[in-house]
Amino acid sequence: MPPIKLILLLFIVTVGYGKLQAKQVQSPVNTAANNLTIADYDKLVKRYRYYKPDSAVYFANMAIAYARRVNDGKGVATMLNHLGMIDDNRGEFDASRIKYLQALAIYRKRKDAVGEAAVIVRLGVVELRKGNYDKAIGCFLQSLKVSERSKNTQGRMEAYLTVAEGYMGQKKLDVALKYLNTAEKINNTIPFSNLSLNIYNDFGVVYREMGMPDQAKAYLEKGIMLSDEPQYQGLHITLINNLAKVYNKQGDKAKSIALQKSALEKARSINNYLRELQTLTGLADTYGTSNAPQALFYFNQALALVKEKGAYKQQIEILSRLADLYKYQKDYQTALLMKEQQNALADSVFYKTMAKQVVSLQSEYQLYRSKASVRELKALNTSQKFQRNFYIAAVAACLLVILVVAYYFYQTRQLNKQLNKVNADLQESNKVKDKLFSVLAHDLRAPFASVIDLLYLLDDEDITGEEKSLLIKRLTSASNVSLETLNMLLKWGEMQIKGVRLNASIVQPKPIVNRVMNLVATNAEKKDIVVQDTVDDNIAVRVDPNHFEFVMRNLLSNAVKFTRPGGSIFISASIDQGENTVIFSVRDNGIGISAERLPYVFDISNASTKGTSNETGTSLGLLICKEFMDMNGGRIWVESLLNEGSIFYVSLPLFKVTQSNVATINLPAKRRTFPRQKQA
């Protein structure tokens, strides 16, 4: 084919294709002049919202006029929501908030919970972009409440997602992660949507900021794969840019720049102004001061873009960044020029805002006059208000009755608890009384009866002097037993009435142990029992000395009582370094304690038994010993095997050790089993 014909053919195809494209571009506008539905207008606004916002505003206003003609309140609210988003994207937050509030009023009037929740989220986004994170989170939580009340699953997911973004703004990444996890769980139960991609993007941002690049990449790459569809191209670009930031943070600038350049190409191919701006500033940040010329190149492209779109807020931000970069290059003249342009633009925007506020004040005045008329009309509804107030009062009265009943129910439960406690105390008192009468009837009665019998015998004139001397000894022994029993009863009774008196001090146990040994020496010698003491002189404990002496005397007396003639008793003390205590032990090779009685030896129900030489007791001694040890912050326990002997342990807090040659032990969690001793 000759070159001239080829050129001519290409020209014809190009012209034809251009006409076709022109028709495709013009068709929405031309069609918009006709009576389209709100759904058609919605598609037009969404198409131009980011690329040509002025055209989007034009179609949205046409849609509002049409919706009002056909009395379509939902259509009006939908378009007001679109207009609010357009103002929001321009940085005109006050204007966007007014439109969102108008849309919200319509949705609430129509009782459209889905629309209400969506608009409340948009109000939260406005506060989020203004940096009012607490207000933003409050809006998102309010949206969550509306969605939960209306069982709107997708609305709940969006609310959890936006709450997470609020906490991301506050840098509370751990809290944001919890809400994102909840949003992801809901997302797994409903069909895939653009919100799913937002969840993956936010996970990527959070993990990136938390220094977890592998998790961030996993979510972002998943989002990129799922968003590679025409309807999700905006989010697709955002996901790519955030993945690039992850690589940049890891130091892989080449990979980051390659991703951002691919995102820039996609943003320009779909005419998405916001994503193009996002990518240009991202590339400038990636190059940064390490490659200032390239950073300036992309910042200048971004500046030209926002100037073309009339985005004043973004122009001010980019001019500030350019000034900083020129200042870093020591190009102070250009940096000053950028700052002057930034300040001039900021002043211009400020005066525009002031003019809008003046118009707003005029509108508010008109609104005030309208409200005055409304107040006059509301005065006619006094009877309805009275009726409503009556119902409220009735409900309040019912609630008050419920509260009173609940209070009395609570009081009754508390009284029942106190009654149960009193009953338990009464049962314990009965046990004490029974024990007391048991001791009086058995342990105290027998010695007194023995004394009376011996007195009768002494009165007999036929007995010899030797027999009389023997009877006097027995009388003395019986009287001592009776006195000991009576003293024990008095001591125990005093404890029950007055409680245990504690006078703790630092005590060296060695002298007390020696004194107790002297007290029981006579009884031990009568039974030919050897008592050995290995308690170190340098140990000191914190204890009431009277209590400690009572405990040691009782344990040693019991050991003598239940040890067979010719037996042996060992008293020792060692330090438990783990617990920082001193453990005293009194070991005998006597008759021991049966396994059945062993758990109750320190209980009031324990019955007294006779010793190896028919010695008697009250069984109250060990009970008093336990109460003394509890009072002093110590412990008492026993290990025993029947017919082999017993070891009674007493543990007390260690005060100090003045020498290093004192025996130390480290007790395990469970008590050691009693070592078997051979009979002496």
Alpha helices by DSSP H, 250-331: 253-269, 273-287, 292-309, 312-328
Beta bridge partners of residue 570, listed in sequence order? 532, 587
- Indicate the pTM of the whole model: 0.48
Alpha helices by DSSP H, 91-132: 93-110, 113-129
Residues of the chain with CATH 1.25.40.10: 192-271
Which residue, chain included where needed, has tokens 């007294």? Answer: 608
What is the model's pLDDT at position 523? 80
Residues of the chain with CATH 3.30.565.10: 502-665
Where b means 16+ CB within 10 Å and e means fewer, 621-660 reads bbbbbbbbbebbebebebbbbeebbbbbbbbbebbeeeee
Q: Is the pLDDT of residue 94 over 70?
A: yes
> Which is higher by pLDDT, 413 or 49?
413
Distance CA 558, CA 368 (A): 98
What is the distance of C-alpha 506 from the center of its chain?
44
Which tens digit of pLDDT belongs to each residue from 302-350?
Answer: 999 888 877 778 888 899 989 998 998 888 998 899 889 889 888 877 6
Q: Is the pLDDT of residue 128 over 80?
A: yes
Of the ranges 158-172, 474-488, 493-507, which is most confident?
Answer: 158-172
- Which band of pLDDT confidence, cut at 50, 70 and 90, is reported for residue 437? low
What is the model's pLDDT at position 676? 36
For the beta carbon of residue 680, count every other beta carbon within 10 angstroms.
Answer: 13
With 0-12 CB in 10 A as exposed, 13-18 as middle and 19+ as buried, what is 263? buried
CATH code given to domain 502-665 = 3.30.565.10
Task: Tell me 579's DSSP state.
Answer: T
Query: What length does the chain have?
Result: 680
What is the model's pLDDT at position 353? 60
Q: What is the mean pLDDT of residues 589-602?
A: 87
Q: Is the pLDDT of residue 433 over 70?
A: no
Which tens digit of pLDDT belongs to each residue from 200-254?
Answer: 999 999 999 999 999 999 999 999 999 988 888 888 999 999 999 999 999 999 9
CATH code given to domain 192-271 = 1.25.40.10
- Which band of pLDDT confidence, cut at 50, 70 and 90, is reported for residue 54? confident
Closest residue by Cα to residue 122 from 140, 108, 105: 140
Task: Tell me 650's DSSP state.
Answer: E
Token pair of 620, please? 């109250």
Distance CA 451, CA 472 (A): 10
Rg (CA), the chain: 48
CA 92, 94, 97, 102 torsion-angle sign:
negative
What is the model's pLDDT at position 494? 63
